[in-house]
Amino acid sequence: MKKTCVLYISGSLGLGHIGRDIAIANQLRKLIAGLEIDWLAADPATRVLSEAGEKLVPGVEQYANENVAAETAATGSHLNIFSYLMKSKGEWRKNVDFFLDLISKKHYDLIIGDEAYEITLAMREHPEKKNFPFVMIYDFVGLHAMTKNPLEHLGVYYWNRVWSHDYRHKRKPSYDLGLFVGELEDIPDDTFGFMMPRRRDFARALYTFIGYVFPFEPAHYADKPALRRRLGYNHEPLVICSLGGTAIGKELLELCGKACILAKESIPALQFILVTGPRLTPDSLELPKGITIKGFIPGLYEHFAACDLAIVQGGATSTLELTALRIPFIYFPIEGHCEQASVASMLERHEAGVPLKLSQTTPELLAEKIVKMLGTTVSYPDIPWDGAFKAAQAIAKHLI
């Protein structure tokens, strides 16, 4: 039987996307017999893929790493998305060259790109190279200017014109299927900019909405005492502070470490764990003595499910996992990052989490919040969690 070959490109920053991409891939394998998936990604996603036994394309280590551009563009825990995009242009060119060379050597029956924007642009510029269905996955629509800098406003306007180009000109986009991870209400009901379309109208016309994608079923983690025993935690209050998949935000971990010492004055038995992630070394942090530090934790969502309170950056993956698991959490959106501002609006709609600004939060304030929130229960509304299955169903129609 002829194998069906798929190339899966997991783009964007950190680790949030790779978890959902593996979940979608696993659902696809259930629907398509003999499916073979090649993966194209960068560190730290490649580490997760290797540990999961997935097949990376030859020479994947040459694929440019956008995390480096983001970490270079960041100032402490502040990241302006426009500055990041400008620094990513060189990496994008390298990735397009790598991609075009790859597809010239091997035929794929379908290609999936999770926020692989450079590939979308390459397909628009080189339509003659496209002899396969192309699926593109999004979780936000367009950029917003986050400062009063006129150059940023001009740059955002340019990028939004590129984003909305096909819709404005009533052209078929370079992808055959656009999937949106989330719901229509997650998209701001405003325009891309002067004389440009409304974002929701654009998304309604071009995207298929699949709800949220998780690598787990929330109901499987309802028994917290049993989960704690399996993970090696005792019954004392447990707080987990997680940075994410980039090195941006070490200041958040240092703030959490100081707040932990203060919170222990009120709750001596408090367990407090800092998770640095794969791109930040524990010895780079300035922390009080006695703080438990861990690096990359596979399946971090299980530890979220076991904890009494989580403190995280404002990325969509971790905050939505906590929402689905109904765990109280405090989140710090990366300041200047317009996508995380959109995530904050989405969480407000779901009445989930407590947002704080890193630049305005002292160890004393955070410790007070921790003590106040421990022992509370939350009743976040149900959110659609079966997006991996819905995505696989939509994608499979382009393979059958």
User: Of 315, 313, 257, which Cα lies nearest the Cα of 284?
Assistant: 257
Torsion of CA 284, 285, 289, 290, to 10 degrees: -100
202 lies in a domain? yes
pLDDT surpasses 70 at 80: no
Amino acid at 315: G
Of 113-122, 191-200, 360-369, the poorest mean pLDDT is in 113-122
pLDDT at 87: 65
* Strands 329-332 and 354-355, bridge-based pairing: parallel
Residue 300: pLDDT above 60?
Answer: yes
Do 203 and 294 lie in one domain? The reply is no
138 with 285, same domain: the answer is: no
pLDDT tens digits along 238-258: 999 998 766 677 889 999 999
**273 lies in which domain range?**
219-373
Q: Specify if 381 maps to a domain.
A: no
Burial of 198 (0-12, 13-18, 19+ CB in 10 A): middle
Q: What is the pLDDT of residues 161-208, one digit of tens each?
A: 999 999 999 999 999 999 999 999 999 999 999 999 999 999 999 999
- The answer to whether residues 368 and 392 belong to one domain is no
- Give the pLDDT band (50/70/90) at residue 233: very high
Q: What is the arithmetic mean of pLDDT over 307-325?
A: 94
Average pLDDT, the chain: 89
Q: Tell me: the pLDDT tens digits for 23-38?
A: 999 999 999 998 999 9
The total of structural domains in the chain comes to 2
**Of 3-17, 132-146, 381-395, minimum mean pLDDT range:** 3-17
Query: Does 380 map to a domain?
Result: no
Domain identity same for 166 and 227: no
Q: What is the sign, positive or negative, of the torsion defined by CA atoms of 227, 229, 233, 235? A: positive
pLDDT of residue 250: 83
Asked if 160 and 306 sit in the same domain, the reply is: no
Residue 326 maps to a domain? yes
- For residue 174, is it within any domain? yes
25 and 161 inside one domain:
yes
Flag whether pLDDT at 400 surpasses 70.
no
Tell me, what's the pLDDT at 149? Answer: 82
Q: Do 134 and 155 fall into the same domain? A: yes
For residue 357, being part of any structural domain is answered with yes
- Quick one: average pLDDT of 297-303? 92
Q: Which of 353, 356, 300, 344 is closest to 326 using CA atoms? A: 353
pLDDT band at 237 (very low <50, low <70, confident <90, very high): very high
pLDDT of residue 205: 96
Distances (CA, A) of 49 to 19, 30, 64, 188, 253: 9, 19, 17, 33, 26
CATH of the domain at 209: 3.40.50.2000
pLDDT at site 302:
97
Would you say residue 64 has pLDDT above 90?
no
pLDDT band at 82 (very low <50, low <70, confident <90, very high): low
Mean of the pLDDT values across residues 382-389?
94
Q: What is the pLDDT of residue 291?
A: 87
Alpha carbons 234 and 241: distance in angstroms, whole number: 18
- Please check whether residue 378 lies inside any domain of the structure: no
Does the residue 379 lie in any domain? no
125-139 pLDDT per residue, tens: 999 999 999 999 999
Residues 276 and 360 in one domain: yes
pLDDT at 76: 60
Greater confidence (169 vs 80) lies with 169
Residues 136 and 13 placed together within one structural domain of the fold: yes
Mean pLDDT of 350-375: 95
SS3 content of the chain, % helix, strand, coil (to 5): 45, 15, 40
In this prediction, residue 341 has a pLDDT band, given cuts at 50, 70 and 90, of confident
Buried-state track 112-129, b at ≥16 Cβ within 10 A, e below 16: bbbbbbbbbebbbeeeee
Say whether pLDDT at 232 is over 90.
yes
Domain shared by 205 and 326, yes or no: no
**The two structure tokens encoding residue 279:** 């791109």
Same domain, 210 and 245: no
> How far apart are alpha carbons 74 and 138 in whole angstroms?
23
Q: Which range is least confidently modeled, 194-208, 288-302, 362-376?
A: 288-302
Nearest one of 278, 274, 303 to 286, comparing CA atoms: 274
Q: Are residues 88 and 204 in the same domain?
A: yes
pLDDT at site 344: 87
54: three-class secondary structure by DSSP: coil
Query: In the chain, what's the furthest Cα-to-Cα distance?
Result: 66
